Chain A
Amino acid sequence: EPEVTQTPSHQVTQMGQEVILRCVPISNHLYFYWYRQILGQKVEFLVSFYNNEISEKSEIFDDQFSVERPDGSNFTLKIRSTKLEDSAMYFCASSRQGHEQYFGPGTRLTVT
């Protein structure tokens, strides 16, 4: 069964450094998403991406964040200058029609 994959599974970085989190959505899906979950808290929406552009973003998704679909398979989330409060589990999700979303296993980002 096709699934969403994410790399790396765990990323440790120093405050102020740039990180790129990678995702490979399910191949025939058209809608792509990033969410994050700070330890012990709710899963929070960051951004949705459709037709090669951002369709919606949350207040969390400020100028430090960007997303890209550099080729036909990858979907990346970049954080330009990480802060301690960016430490969280980041989930990528994809959807064929914008309804059921299929989540990847997540990348645990630790900012020190």
Chain B
Amino acid sequence: SQQGEEDPQALSIQEGENATMNCSYKTSINNLQWYRQNSGRGLVHLILIRSNEREKHSGRLRVTLDTSKKSSSLLITASRAADTASYFCANNAGGTSYGKLTFGQGTILTVHP
């Protein structure tokens, strides 16, 4: 499989529920980042977690990183209809200081009002 695989590929929930998306990667990393993309639009940076961090919070977002399993999860709590978008993880592999990001396929999140 390829680097930065997210699962599930699609997630449909009701407003107010929590949404959890997972991501796996293959190589060692400097950091892992999560982005949101609304349909046909650009990528919006959500959160960055460094390889020496295990958990990070930003508002309703919680990201975890398990470097032993090469995986990360993004939790969106108390979801809103406006959270409907595609969510991508992207890793910055170790050994480069220039920030090349390797993206996963993404999870399409639909939040029903």
- Please report A residues at the B interface, Cβ cutoff 8 Å: 4, 31, 33, 35, 42-45, 48, 50, 55-56, 91, 93, 95, 98-106
Contacts and interface: CB of A to CB of B under 8 A. Distances in A.
A43 B103 contact: yes
8 contacts: A43-B88, A44-B103, A56-B98, A91-B43, A99-B48, A100-B45, A101-B99, A105-B42
Given A43-B103, A45-B100, A48-B100, A101 B45 contact: yes
Interface string B22-56: 00000000010101000001111100100000000
Interface residues of B, number: 25
Contacts of B4: 42
Given A31-B98, A42-B104, A100 B42 contact: no
Nearest to A40: B105
A71 to B, nearest CB: 22
A104 B112 CA distance: 28
B99 A99 contact: yes
Contact of A99 (B2, B41, B43, B92): B92
B105 A42 contact: yes
A80 B22 CA distance: 39
A33 B31 CA distance: 17
Contacts of A45: 100-102
